[in-house]
Structure 1
Amino acid sequence: MQLSDYSAFPAEIPILVEDDIFLYPFMISPIFLSDEKNVHAAVEAVDTNSLVLVCTTKPGQEGERTFDSIYDAGVVGSIMRKVTLPDGRIKVLFQGLARGKILEPVSESPLTAKVDIIQTKPYNELKIEALMEVLREKLKQLSSVSNQFPPDLLRTIEENHEPNRIADLISSTIKIKKEESYKLFIEEDIEKRLLLLIDIISEEIEASKLQKEIRSKVHSRIEKVNKEYFLKEQLKQIQQELGTDTQREEEIEEYYKKLEEKKPFMEKDAYKEVKKQIDRFARMHPDSADANLIQGYLDWVLEVPFGKHSKKHLKVEDVQKQLDKDHYSLKKPKERIVEYFSVRELAELRGVADKQIKGAILCFAGPPGVGKTSLANSIAKALKRKLVRIALGGLEDVNELRGHRRTYIGAMPGRIVQGLIDAGEMNPVMVLDEIDKVGRSMRGDPTSVLLEILDPEQNSEFRDYYLNFNIDLSQVIFIATANDIGAIPGPLRDRMEFIFLSSYTPQEKYEIAKRYLIPQELKKHALKKNEFSISKAALEMVIENYTREAGVRNLRRRVADMVRKAAKEILTNPEIGKVNVSVKNLKEFLDKPVFEIDPTDNVPTVGVVNGLAWTAVGGDVLKIESIKIKGKGGLQLTGSLGEVMKESARIALSVVKTQIDQGKLKIDESIIFKTPKEKEENIKLEPSEVYKRYDLHIHVPEGATPKDGPSAGITMATAIASILGEYKVRADVAMTGELTLTGKVLPIGGLKEKLIAADKAKMKKVLIPMKNYKRDLDDIPESVKENLEIVPVTRIEEVLKEALILE
């Protein structure tokens, strides 16, 4: 089919889709085809010796091959050659012949449409010639400010007088958007087409002029900067010759001077590394980026207090006095701290080097508010050493401790080295707060660094990545604090010796409030001692009914609440002179009481047993409840119980069943459910039927609070025995102990906190494992032992005898 045969159009011909550019008549262009529709259309055109229409996709429709995604105009032409490439694509050589437009779609696969040639409307030759002259003039202007039009193309446009051919040549050369290309392409009026081109080229001229102006300014600025740089360099050389530019040399000289002063106290590797960096800094240009990094490094590293130590001689008496002055009670923790420093003082007196004394790292463990961090403060005061606190809670990035490598932007030394710099000495007291809350993430495991810091065998050569040499931490006194030692990884726990700080008794809290909290809060609130007083009964009521904690942090807050109201009262009514707080007016100073432990009501109840529990804020009394329901011997547990506690309940049920089977726990036949037939025939039931015909439900109150641990074993066994045998449980008896399947009672932890809780709940008798009775009773405050009858038990039979009313 030949294009010259215009009578053949409109005609149905295949369509090839091009994504990037518009093709124009008289262009010979290679087209690479990979999608199925294009390949199908090309094969059909070659096989039938047909012309094809090459259309362009609309903006945002690239890759689509539908009539809605392409412009309805394109170039009608022929495929001169078709070649199959090794990668499966087809390359065709296309020759454009004329502009065409789609009249109506015919087929989607391959794309085929009814196409007609775009005919140019009749035009005035003189007017068109004038427009073409304007266009040529504009092109000359554009070529003078842009390199888009080569001289050969300008010559061709100058010599050609066919307006459509010139419009096509220019449109194919300038860079315009698809929408504008389509407007130029589809236009049948050559006058409008030329005017549109003149507008586009005028805009191109303005844009090119602006770009040229910007490039010229940038080039001038670069030349100016280079000129200034060379002038500055020449000026520096002149100033050096004259001896006037000495600032940089003075800085470098200062660095060398500081390094030489610290040299006797530095390791060879450290001295070598710092000297190498100063030498590099001296050779560098001061405006380079590396020079700034190295200068930052030198400023940090030369602040490390090599050779500086606290000069005070260690005296155990001072430590003992300071601990007694700042803390009430805490007898055992104080003894262990004094023992720790006794070893160090003895080594100092006998001239033994610190590196040879491989003392343990102390870790104060206990609930919040019991004085862990304040003990470390007292140690620092007694030793006259600086105190450095490093909060480890939530720490995930290992580089926070070990330092960042200097290649990173914003690199800094680790917190340990920064702590030494802040302290200004190499032997401060360093408190690692909340070591049990260290995190682990993709940025590393900080506990691995803590292993090196806290290991006396390794910390004399601790390597900070930023400094890039070893630091001796053996003279630092490390003290860690933790709430839950179970959360500390095993290898790290092995490096430390734990000193446990348990809950304070109400009497201890009273003394702490009287001796420390009230005087301190009066001072903070600008009150004099004679302007505020609180009676003993009122203070005891605050401790008992307004605080829920193992330590004294909330007690301090309640004291502060009272003191603030007193300050306001004195300010508004100066004639009062003094504010007295008593039991009667306590409600005026504090809000509603928080009854942390309900006192026993002394009413024996079936299936309700007082269990003792340890929590992060001290001890508590939990009433374990049980009921029985007609069923088949099932067991249901509620109250957010952990796996260990659920296992304890199952063990307790098995133990009670054994007690019933062996006749040790008597079951009255009348309490066992009988069927009508059994009642009628008066059938005698075995005691074991009581646990076969009932389902048990055990609940531990405060269901939203997760609970776990084996120490509720005997409590659950007592509750099960009570509900199955319908025996009442003594309301003034509390208990704690792990139960084995054979009925033995095993020891538990947290005894002190549990007994304090029992005392607060006004219990009269407490059942504890025999091993705890022999081992831990010395740790229990005398006031608690006086108020409670503590009964040791070894087997479940003893527990049931003490707790149940069997008569």
Structure 2
Amino acid sequence: MIERPMEENIIVGAPRYCPVLPLKNLVALPKSIVPVVVGREVSIAAVEYAMAHNKKEIFITAQQSPDIDIPTGDDLYVHGTRGVILQVVKLQNGTLKILVEGVTRARIASIEQEAPFIGVMLEELSSQEIKHAPTLKSLWKELLGLFKEYIGLNEKLSSDLLGLFRGPEDLDFLCDTIAVHVSFTFTEKQALIELVDLKERALLVTEFLKREVDNLRTDKTIRKRVQSQVEKHQRDYYLTEQLRAIQRELGRDDAAQEIEEIRKKAKKIKMSAEALEKVESELRRLEQMPPMSPEAAVARNYVDWLITIPWHEKSKDTVSLQKAEQLLDDSHAGMKKPKERVVEFLAARKYAKENLKHAPIICLVGPPGVGKTSFAQSIAEALGRPMVRISLGGVRDEAEIRGHRRTYIGAMPGKIIQSMKRIKVMNPVIVLDEIDKMSMDFRGDPSSALLEVLDPEQNKNFVDHFLEVEYDLSNVMFIATANVGENIPYPLLDRMEVIYLNGYTEAEKLEIAKKFLIPKHLQEHALSSEKVVLSDLVLKSMIEDFTKEAGVRQLERYIAKIMRKCIQVLLANKKVKSVEVTHDMLEKWFGVPPFRREDRKRVDATGLATGLAWTEVGGDVLEIEVTVLKGKGGLTLTGQLGEVMQESAQAAMSYLRSRAKDLGLKENFYADLDVHVHIPEGAIPKDGPSAGITIATAVMSALTQIPVKCTVAMTGEITLRGRVLPVGGLKEKLLAATRFGIKQVIVSKQNAKDIKEFVHELDPSLTIAYVETMDEVAALALEKNPFIAHDKKVIKPSNADKLKKPARGKKIKGKK
């Protein structure tokens, strides 16, 4: 037998024997009548014993685990209720249906038997009364008020229950009654049956009851809201039907049906709440307008734009990394950095998936003809996304980007929203072509409007003036193209990842011609490689002698012309099956080569130095001529030089005057001499600091009468102390030096790190000399070092040096 400890102050009377009725997930409380279906043998035996031998009294308690079919004493809760069986009905299947009324709390003192039923010695428990009257009254008032509210909220309970309680003295009865009629959990009811301290039990019941009251309040609010919505829908339906009948009478039935279809479509495409509200507002206006009125046309156009732009549709990036790399390599030669950036994004997209919120915003900067726009097309193909191109050249109206406000006649969205409508997905590739060619006037600044479009933190909430709702552009991959990065406003340039595309080397042009251009034009002209034969020597001649460009557009035109000429030959003579293009044919078809290298050969001369220039179409050479004349110490600069280049010439002259003694010149040699610096092709503006050391070298040669090596070119900024500072555009300049037959190029030592990135693309025959001072430049560029050879102490003014063979070359635009 299991002995239970007893508390004398709550035990009523001596323990007595009682059969046990174990219940599953059910707690019987005092003052409650519980119907129970008894089917287990141990329970039936306990009921029969109680009816026959125990004055119908039975101990009702719950099993600790409902999964046990034949419980023992240890499987039961110690605390339960002593009850009286009021009624027993035997059912046909042998089970009993009984009514049990709980009388008082009790607990098991000891287990006497476990078969054929569980019999225990029972101790009845009385509640510990609350002796402090104010506390008792306060708990009574709180609990009764909550119970009244619960009955008011619960339609299943009658308010007659409140008449059972007389006052605070019935607090025990009130707690148990509430526990019976309120939907407390099994665990909560078991906790209440075990609590004999009336104050603690009342507080616990209050806590449970407050929770249930809150739940009922919430349920009532929801039901009320649902009911009001149902009533509103019914009312709306009735009014809508009436409105339809009126519209049928007015002959507007088709318009109403169309509006209803638009309304359904707007809800189906799951646009933003703000946009849906705008659509609904415009549709309500449309319903009140005559279908043929101008206002109706404007409203309908606005709604059409809102429902036709994509709101959730996206294309999937299905292309693999290897296939993307292959697509980019097959479509464009070189361009290592742009290709790497695209593959990086694709890899990050595949790995991070939807966590990668923003698409990259790239700006490809490079000279014309290097393939910026076509490369953007290849990026779209590599990503498996649709592409749309927006040309910004000459755009000067802000409304082209942001759209016109609807107050204007013929208003429409800007180019961005128009492109989104045309492409029908939210994550296309949009190419902003010639972004550096935009301008501004009184109508606004389109480059400022692009700040919002190209800012990853702002374009997710882009607002077009026409739509007047926020639209998400964060999934769009923007690729801008430009020829000159300096023409792009800095705030706009700062928002983009700039990738510079330099001009092609002659080897790259040859590869592009063989791999891309010739097959393309053979296919376009229905020719084959057997009918038209172009050798590498002929292609090299075309590249070197007939073109001077950073890209390959001019070369492509010549190739297309060759195809047309070959077709003429084939048609003129049916016996000819193949045409092998030769150098003589090139001169016959194209004329005298304009850039033949033999014409560009020069000889060493005094006062003539070769510089390197960067232009929009790539690099070029810059010949600087200096003549010393009788005068009064003047410095004349001609050739339409910009302010920066003029200052470079002045700095070079000041440096030479400071080093007059080292050069073997009089200290005041400039007092009776004038120095004239001229850069040919005077119709073309020239500017920039990179000609500083070239001007200094030419002036030094003219003053010392030491010739400048014609195979040496240079670029770098000069200071008053004779230091050589770094400059930009080195790749284009060095490629130009190779084209013009230069053997050695002098650059600042600080540019060494820049040249390392593309040194493998340069002609191996080109030597690069890195210098820090003008002393080193003079030693390399002049036939003799003027700082250690003072052969000519007095300089006589002379006319311009006569060259054995004048240099020829095409005009260079935008030198700096």
Q: Shorter-chain-normalised TM-score: which range?
A: 0.5 to 0.7
Give CA deviations for 1:708-727 in whole Å, capped at 9, x if unaligned. Answer: 00000100000110011111
Percent of paired sites with the same residue:
47
Give CA deviations for 1:23-53 in whole Å, capped at 9, x if unaligned. Answer: xxxxxxxxxxxxxxxxxxxxxxxxxxxxxxx
Q: For residues 245 and 497 of structure 1, do their structure 2 counterparts lie closer, same or farther at Cα, with a shift above 3 Å needed? A: closer
Contact 2:462 2:470 in 1 (8 A): yes
Given candidates 776, 779, 783, the residue that maps to 2:755 is 776
Given candidates 265, 284, 291, the residue that maps to 1:286 is 291
Counterpart in the other structure of 1:727:
706
Given candidates 792, 799, 803, the residue that maps to 2:770 is 792
Q: For residues 734 and 298 of structure 1, do their structure 2 counterparts lie closer, same or farther at Cα, with a shift above 3 Å needed? A: same
Cα distance in 2 between the residues matched to 1:345 and 1:628: 68
1:756 counterpart SS class: helix
Shift of 1:641: 0.6
Q: Does residue 530 of the first structure (1) align with residue 526 of the second (2)?
A: no
Given candidates 252, 264, 269, the residue that maps to 1:257 is 264
2:659 counterpart SS class: helix
Give CA deviations for 1:142-181 in whole Å, capped at 9, x if unaligned. Answer: xxxxxxxxxxxxxxxxxxxxxxxxxxxxxxxxxxxxxxxx
Shift of 1:307: 1.6
Cα distance in 2 between the residues matched to 1:691 and 1:338: 61
Contact 1:548 1:594 in 2 (8 A): no
Counterpart in the other structure of 2:236:
none
Counterpart in the other structure of 1:548:
548
Equivalent positions of 1:10-409 (< 5 A) are 240=248, 246-263=253-270, 266-313=271-318, 315-348=320-353, 351-352=354-355, 354-355=356-357, 357=358, 360-409=360-409
Cα distance in 2 between the residues matched to 1:400 and 1:457: 22
Q: Return the letter of the residue paired with 1:753.
A: E
Q: For residues 734 and 372 of structure 1, do their structure 2 counterparts lie closer, same or farther at Cα, with a shift above 3 Å needed? A: same
Q: For residues 238 and 693 of structure 1, do their structure 2 counterparts lie closer, same or farther at Cα, with a shift above 3 Å needed? A: closer
Counterpart in the other structure of 2:239:
none
1:702 counterpart SS class: coil
1:574 counterpart SS class: coil
Q: For residues 486 and 783 of structure 1, do their structure 2 counterparts lie closer, same or farther at Cα, with a shift above 3 Å needed? A: closer
Q: Return the letter of the residue paired with 1:250.
A: Q
1:729 counterpart SS class: coil
Shift of 1:774: 3.4
1:584 counterpart SS class: helix
Contact 2:428 2:476 in 1 (8 A): yes
Give CA deviations for 1:57-78 in whole Å, capped at 9, x if unaligned. Answer: xxxxxxxxxxxxxxxxxxxxxx
Aligned residues: 542
Shift of 1:314: 5.6
2:660 counterpart SS class: helix
Q: For residues 599 and 339 of structure 1, do their structure 2 counterparts lie closer, same or farther at Cα, with a shift above 3 Å needed? A: farther
Counterpart in the other structure of 1:752:
731
Shift of 1:537: 1.0
Shift of 1:602: 4.8
**Structure 1 gap segments, 5+ residues each:** 1-235, 668-686
Q: Return the letter of the residue paired with 1:322.
A: L
Give CA deviations for 1:215-266 in whole Å, capped at 9, x if unaligned. Answer: xxxxxxxxxxxxxxxxxxxxx9899259x86422332122112112112xx2
Q: For residues 641 and 596 of structure 1, do their structure 2 counterparts lie closer, same or farther at Cα, with a shift above 3 Å needed? A: farther
Cα distance in 2 between the residues matched to 1:427 and 1:455: 16
Counterpart in the other structure of 1:716:
695
Cα distance in 2 between the residues matched to 1:342 and 1:660: 62
Shift of 1:449: 1.2
Counterpart in the other structure of 1:579:
579
Shift of 1:432: 0.5
Moved more, 308-317 or 533-542: 308-317
Contact 1:461 1:473 in 2 (8 A): yes
Shift of 1:622: 1.3
Equivalent positions of 1:643-792 (< 5 A) are 643-661=643-661, 663=662, 665-667=663-665, 687-784=666-763, 786-792=764-770
Contact 2:389 2:431 in 1 (8 A): yes
Cα distance in 2 between the residues matched to 1:599 and 1:657: 36
Contact 2:395 2:439 in 1 (8 A): yes
Shift of 1:741: 1.1
Q: Return the letter of the residue paired with 2:745.
A: V
Contact 1:597 1:620 in 2 (8 A): no
Q: TM-score, normalised by structure 2?
A: 0.64
1:585 counterpart SS class: helix
2:261 counterpart SS class: helix
2:575 counterpart SS class: helix
Cα distance in 2 between the residues matched to 1:599 and 1:750: 26
2:530 counterpart SS class: helix
Counterpart in the other structure of 1:481:
481
Q: For residues 537 and 279 of structure 1, do their structure 2 counterparts lie closer, same or farther at Cα, with a shift above 3 Å needed? A: same
Give CA deviations for 1:554-600 in whole Å, capped at 9, x if unaligned. Answer: 11111111111112222332321222111232223323322187765
Counterpart in the other structure of 2:114:
none
2:745 counterpart SS class: strand
1:730 counterpart SS class: coil
Cα distance in 2 between the residues matched to 1:467 and 1:782: 50
Counterpart in the other structure of 1:506:
506
Q: Does residue 642 of the first structure (1) align with residue 647 of the second (2)?
A: no
Contact 1:459 1:472 in 2 (8 A): yes
Q: For residues 399 and 550 of structure 1, do their structure 2 counterparts lie closer, same or farther at Cα, with a shift above 3 Å needed? A: same
Moved more, 246-255 or 289-298: 246-255
Cα distance in 2 between the residues matched to 1:484 and 1:475: 27
Q: Does residue 803 of the first structure (1) align with residue 810 of the second (2)?
A: no
Q: Return the letter of the residue paired with 1:268.
A: A
Counterpart in the other structure of 1:608:
608
Contact 2:597 2:741 in 1 (8 A): no
Contact 1:599 1:762 in 2 (8 A): no
Cα distance in 2 between the residues matched to 1:251 and 1:484: 51
Q: Return the letter of the residue paired with 1:258.
A: K
Cα distance in 2 between the residues matched to 1:284 and 1:782: 69
Cα distance in 1 between the residues matched to 2:529 and 2:761: 31
Contact 1:690 1:724 in 2 (8 A): no
Cα distance in 1 between the residues matched to 2:461 and 2:310: 16
Counterpart in the other structure of 1:462:
462
Counterpart in the other structure of 2:591:
591
Give CA deviations for 1:684-720 in whole Å, capped at 9, x if unaligned. Answer: xxx2233222100001111111110000010000011
Cα distance in 2 between the residues matched to 1:711 and 1:269: 56
Cα distance in 2 between the residues matched to 1:465 and 1:660: 67
Q: For residues 496 and 239 of structure 1, do their structure 2 counterparts lie closer, same or farther at Cα, with a shift above 3 Å needed? A: closer
Counterpart in the other structure of 1:411:
411
Shift of 1:452: 0.2
Cα distance in 2 between the residues matched to 1:601 and 1:690: 34
Cα distance in 2 between the residues matched to 1:609 and 1:598: 19
Cα distance in 2 between the residues matched to 1:239 and 1:770: 84
Contact 2:360 2:478 in 1 (8 A): no
Q: TM-score, normalised by structure 1?
A: 0.65
Q: For residues 360 and 383 of structure 1, do their structure 2 counterparts lie closer, same or farther at Cα, with a shift above 3 Å needed? A: closer
Shift of 1:382: 1.2
Q: Return the letter of the residue paired with 1:399.
A: A
Cα distance in 2 between the residues matched to 1:632 and 1:790: 39
1:666 counterpart SS class: coil
